């Protein structure tokens, strides 16, 4: 049954249905609005600066119908996801002992802060000098640039765990695994999903820089090719491919978030 305006979903099924409906409409409307604005601007500006939406769409079709281009998209996507996964694992491995040991945190925190001040381009140069393989270079750059974000967010999520709920769960004498499954994981999950969403945007920017400099394939490499032939439609089409990838992954994360954490927004709404 559909919910009327102002109704608050009470059950898990209602929360999931409501969250999915909201996700679909808002995303489509926002993107369609952007395309309309771009098309209007392209009518008044030279096409080599602002190519029309149909022109860009044609380039997009060309990209998605070429196996080489699809391989480039796949390569960039895999690099982003591998880099994020690596940073997530390393960040979690750092965050948990930091949360449990103030002494450890006092040593690691300044190092992470120091790392945050290093520009992505510096990591690119360092990686090129230090390592041989292109893929490992990109992986290293991705991990180093997104590591602090994951670490701080997982750390904050761990620390936000309710002492009351922790004591209540301990009173039932859970095993370590059960404590992790029933309390710690649901508590840190919002922070982890936020970390993935935030770092996904960062990673997509960094991967392009890394590919521009060191790769022989991928979206960054293709963007470099478009720049050399001064092809604005191609540059935008490749950019859109990357944006599309980020939006798809963001959408998947948002869907997971609204389904797994649906109780949260409505709990706040109801209170």
Binding site for other proteins (CB under 8 A): 8, 10-13, 15, 164-165, 167-175, 178, 182-183, 186, 260-261, 263-264, 266-267, 270-271
Q: At what angle do helices 53-64 and 67-100 cross, to 10 degrees?
A: 90
Taking the least distance from each CB to other proteins, the nearer of 197 and 259 is 259
CB of 166 vs other proteins, minimal distance in Å: 9
Buried b / exposed e along 11-42 (16+ C-beta atoms within 10 A) = eeebbbbbbeeebeeeeeeeeeeeeeeeeeeb
Q: How far apart are CA 137 and CA 134, in angstroms?
A: 5
**Token pair 């978030």: residue:** 257
Taking the least distance from each CB to other proteins, the nearer of 14 and 81 is 14
Give the C-alpha distances (Å, rounded to integers) separating 163 from 27, 98, 136, 159, 184.
37, 18, 41, 10, 11
Taking the least distance from each CB to other proteins, the nearer of 123 and 158 is 158
Q: How far apart are CA 236 and CA 223, in angstroms?
A: 9
Taking the least distance from each CB to other proteins, the nearer of 138 and 188 is 188
CB of 119 vs other proteins, minimal distance in Å: 39
- Number of Cα atoms under 13 Å in the Cβ half of residue 264: 10
CB of 8 vs other proteins, minimal distance in Å: 7
Taking the least distance from each CB to other proteins, the nearer of 10 and 47 is 10
Dihedral sign computed on CA atoms, order 243, 246, 249, 255: negative
Q: How far apart are CA 267 and CA 223, in angstroms?
A: 45
Taking the least distance from each CB to other proteins, the nearer of 23 and 266 is 266
CB of 259 vs other proteins, minimal distance in Å: 12
**Tokens of residue 29, six digits:** 């409307």
**Tokens of residue 187, six digits:** 């508590």
Residues 6+ apart with CB under 8 A from 225: 234
Taking the least distance from each CB to other proteins, the nearer of 18 and 238 is 18
Task: Identify whether the C-beta of residue 143 lies closer than 8 Å to the C-beta of residue 210.
Answer: no
CB of 7 vs other proteins, minimal distance in Å: 11
CB of 194 vs other proteins, minimal distance in Å: 16
CB of 35 vs other proteins, minimal distance in Å: 38
């Amino acid at each position: 049954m559909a919910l009327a305006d102002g109704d608050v979903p009470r059950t898990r099924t209602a929360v999931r249905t409501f969250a999915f409906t909201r996700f679909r409409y808002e995303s489509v409307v926002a993107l369609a609005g952007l395309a309309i604005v771009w098309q209007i601007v392209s009518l008044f500006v030279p096409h080599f600066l602002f190519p029309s939406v149909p022109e860009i769409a044609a380039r997009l079709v060309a990209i998605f119908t070429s196996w080489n281009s699809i391989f480039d998209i796949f390569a960039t996507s895999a690099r982003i996801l591998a880099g994020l996964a690596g940073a997530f694992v390393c960040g979690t491995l750092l965050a948990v002992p930091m949360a449990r040991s103030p002494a450890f945190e006092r040593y690691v925190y300044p190092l992470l802060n120091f790392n945050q001040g290093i520009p992505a381009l510096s990591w690119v140069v360092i990686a090129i000098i230090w390592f041989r393989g292109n893929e490992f270079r990109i992986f290293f750059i991705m991990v180093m640039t997104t590591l602090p974000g994951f670490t701080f967010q997982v750390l904050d999520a761990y620390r936000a765990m309710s002492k009351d709920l922790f004591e209540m769960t301990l009173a039932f004498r859970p095993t370590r695994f059960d404590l992790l499954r029933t309390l710690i994981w649901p508590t840190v999950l919002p922070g982890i999903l936020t970390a993935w969403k935030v770092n996904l945007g960062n990673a997509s920017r960094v991967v392009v820089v890394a590919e521009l400099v060191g790769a022989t394939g991928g979206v960054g490499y293709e963007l470099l090719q478009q720049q050399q032939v001064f092809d604005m439609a191609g540059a935008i089409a490749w950019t859109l491919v990357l944006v599309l990838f980020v939006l798809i992954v963001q959408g998947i994360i948002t869907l997971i978030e609204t389904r797994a954490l649906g109780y949260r927004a409505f709990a706040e709404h109801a209170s």
